[in-house]
């Protein structure tokens, strides 16, 4: 039920996952590039690994965050506003446009 996070690996009771951190860093860079095209600004994107159903014990304060879904909600509401409202409107519009190209 517990995953430890050392900033490089997720450490499960049965082994480690060293692939999640590089993947979430690549994804954050991709999102940052996508948004740069829209906002013309370098917005800081926080890489986060979310592990629903697990208790996540972080062993330090790292660039990449790892947490469970319950903590994610608290983390997001506790963060100070990072973006101006007009930047958020452009980001939301870009994601809305991008997601509409996906068919279910």
What pLDDT, in 10s, does the model give residues 6-47? Answer: 999 999 999 999 999 999 999 999 989 888 887 777 778 889
The C-alpha angle with vertex 75 and arms to 80 and 91, in degrees rounded to 5, equals 60
> What is the rounded CA–CA span in Å between residue 3 and residue 57?
6
CA dihedral sign of residues 98, 25, 18, 16 = negative
- Name the pTM for this structure: 0.79
Closest by alpha carbon to 10, among 40, 48, 41, 37?
48
């Amino acid at each position: 039920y517990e995953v430890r996070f050392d900033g490089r690996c997720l450490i499960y009771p049965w082994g480690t996952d060293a692939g999640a951190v590089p993947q979430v860093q690549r994804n954050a860079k991709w999102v940052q590039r996508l948004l740069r095209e829209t906002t013309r600004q370098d917005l800081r994107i926080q890489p986060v690994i979310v592990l629903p159903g697990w208790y996540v014990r972080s062993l330090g304060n790292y660039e990449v965050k790892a947490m469970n879904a319950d903590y994610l909600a608290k983390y997001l509401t506790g963060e100070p506003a990072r973006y101006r409202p007009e930047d958020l409107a452009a980001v939301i519009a870009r994601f809305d446009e991008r997601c509409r190209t996906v068919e279910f």
